[in-house]
Amino acid sequence: MNQADINAVLTLMTLGDPYVKPRTESDYWLYAKLFSSTTPLTFIDGQLVGVIVAFRSQDNPSEIYVQDVMVRPNFRRRGVATELLNSVIAQGQAWDCRRLFLTSEPENNAAHVAWLSYGFENLPGNMIERGVQVQSDYKGPGKHRAIYEYRIVSPSRGHGCRERWDDPATPHSSPLRS
């Protein structure tokens, strides 16, 4: 992501309601300036169709936290999220990171199914909601979250999220760009 992409990212993020909400323009400036290597974008035919916002932990540099994943609704289940996740995983491998993790609202069943299909594990929490392990108050009082983890392995042992949702009949017309 670079600064020229901020307006397109803001527009794309407005399509994520109720689970993904746009942040401020200054937040995206920060992501473009300081976290561009873990904030990849996918463009198809010149249109922004997907973005991941992720950060390498400064307190534990072996971890990358995924803040947001957003794919334009008419491009879902076409491999865009897989491509973006694999880009973040590859960067994690280059940094010798061991863990990619994210959180989701317990009621977001589509996210739960997606994360499991990509090879993430729903980590044990202190309660179960709708069949999902959840940690109560994880992001503050009343903000319960399901926590998902993907173990990053070295390139020699293989890597990358599963491609279960890729549609080989729908090739990408332009490459991933971060």
pLDDT of residue 160: 54
- Which 3 state secondary structure label does DSSP give 145? strand
pLDDT for the residue 166 = 38
pLDDT at 161: 55
Say if residues 43 and 21 touch (Cβ distance below 8 Å).
no
| Positions of the chain with pLDDT lower than 70, given as ranges | 155-178
Q: Residue 154 has what pLDDT?
A: 73
Residue 57: its pLDDT value, please?
Answer: 96
Structure confidence at residue 148 (pLDDT): 98
pLDDT at 156: 56
- Rounded to 5 degrees, what are φ and ψ at 156? -70, -20
Identify the pLDDT of residue 163. Answer: 42
